[in-house]
Amino acid sequence: MLVPSKYVKSFSLGVQNSMEYRTNFFLSLFSCIFPIIIQCFFWRAVFLSSGKSDVFGYSYNQLIAYSILAVLMSKLVGTGFQFEIARDIKDGGMNKYIVKPIGYFAYRISCFLGEKSVQMSIILSISVLVVFVLNALLAFPVRAEQVILFLCVVPFALLLNFFIYYCLSGVAFWFHEANGAFRTFGLLANIASGGLFPLDIYPPLMQSVLHALPFNYVVYFPINVLCGKLSLLQMLEGIGMQVLWIGVFAALSNLVWRTGFKKYIAVGG
């Protein structure tokens, strides 16, 4: 089935938006250096104080490599459209989508994928370069098949994160100011996804909880695929869980938005 031209245009608008704000993107990408530097000093202090060659089953080089890849992966799948949606709901910007023959969900995901298509090409290129550097400097082995499998799971991680935040953005129908909730959720989701530390460092009970949540399939799971820490069966199970959670949040977001639209008052805009 051919994609309607209006959504192709929406995809193009996402690409144009990404190119228009490319300086902002590169500055935000450059700012990722600072969390990595902090992680280096943090883990160095941990290893010096422990006097051990490995902590939580990781060597120092492995933790530094994980920290770098986690920052890049978090940037790769990151979203920002939830703030735009909240503004549309609050200020009446949703009105034009109600009267025009265009689906709001299809418009949003088309713009998101268009914007990410540019960012993904840049970040994945940087990631490949980083992997070669890690291999040379930190003896961090990555085989070609691991990179190929990683590229297979990244699109599912991207879609999963989109549906999580699209579902979350629906709370703007009930809250006049939802930006604080978005930022708080984003911080907690980053921790739960392994974007800050690998999930292995948490106590067993907390690990069980975090592995049962969908967030680890956004950052932690793709990085483990790239690092070659998973068997083929575990990777297939992980991809299956990604698809399952995408379906769950797609259905949940549909329910949230259908219920929320009943409360929407088309004023402003």
Query: Which pLDDT score, from 0 to 100, does residue 245 have?
Result: 96
Give pLDDT, residue 268: 53
Q: Find the range with the poorest average confidence among 3-17, 27-41, 83-97, 102-116.
A: 3-17
Tell me: pLDDT of 70 over 50. Answer: yes
For residues 66 and 14, which has the higher predicted lDDT (pLDDT)? 66
Mean pLDDT, rounded, for 223-229: 86
Q: What is the DSSP letter of 200?
A: G
Q: Which residue has the higher pLDDT, 222 or 95?
A: 222
Sequence-ordered alpha helix ranges (H) in the chain? 5-20, 22-30, 33-50, 60-77, 81-91, 95-99, 104-137, 144-169, 179-192, 204-212, 220-227, 232-261
Closest by alpha carbon to 160, among 200, 182, 188, 189? 189
Q: Residues 58, 46: contact at Cβ < 8 Å? A: no
What are the CA-CA distances from residue 90 to residues 78, 136, 185, 258 (Å)? 23, 51, 19, 17
* Residues in contact with 69: Cβ distance below 8 Å, sequence separation at least 6, in sequence order: 127, 130, 223, 226, 227
Position 237 scores a pLDDT of: 94
Q: What pLDDT is stored for residue 269 in this prediction?
A: 47
Higher pLDDT, 19 or 157: 157
Q: Does position 121 have pLDDT exceeding 50, yes or no? A: yes
Domain boundaries, the chain: 5-261
Beta bridge partners, 59, equal 54
Please report how many Cα atoms fall inside a 13 Å half-sphere around the Cα of residue 3, on the Cβ side.
12
DSSP state of 98: H
pLDDT at 218: 95
Backbone angles phi, psi at 55, to 5 degrees: -130, 130
Query: Tokens at residue 90, please?
Result: 């609050």
**pLDDT score, position 139:** 67
Give the pLDDT mean for 216-229: 90
CA 141 to chain centre: 25
Q: What is the mean pLDDT of the chain?
A: 84
Q: How confident is the model at residue 3 (pLDDT cuts 50, 70, 90)?
A: low
Instruction: With beta carbons less than 8 A apart as the criterion, state whether 59 and 233 touch.
Output: no
Query: Quick check: helix, strand or coil at residue 58?
Result: strand
Q: How far is CA 107 from each of CA 27, 31, 74, 259, 267, rounded to the nearest angstrom?
A: 27, 30, 23, 20, 21
* Residue 186 confidence class, pLDDT cut points 50, 70, 90: very high
Q: How far is CA 9 from CA 16, 93, 107, 207, 253, in A?
A: 10, 19, 9, 43, 24
Asked whether the predicted pLDDT for residue 266 surpasses 70, the reply is no
Query: What number is the average pLDDT over the span 189-202?
Result: 91
The pLDDT assigned to 190 comes to 92
Average pLDDT over residues 55-70: 84
pLDDT at 100 over 70: yes
Confidence of residue 125 (pLDDT cuts 50, 70, 90): confident
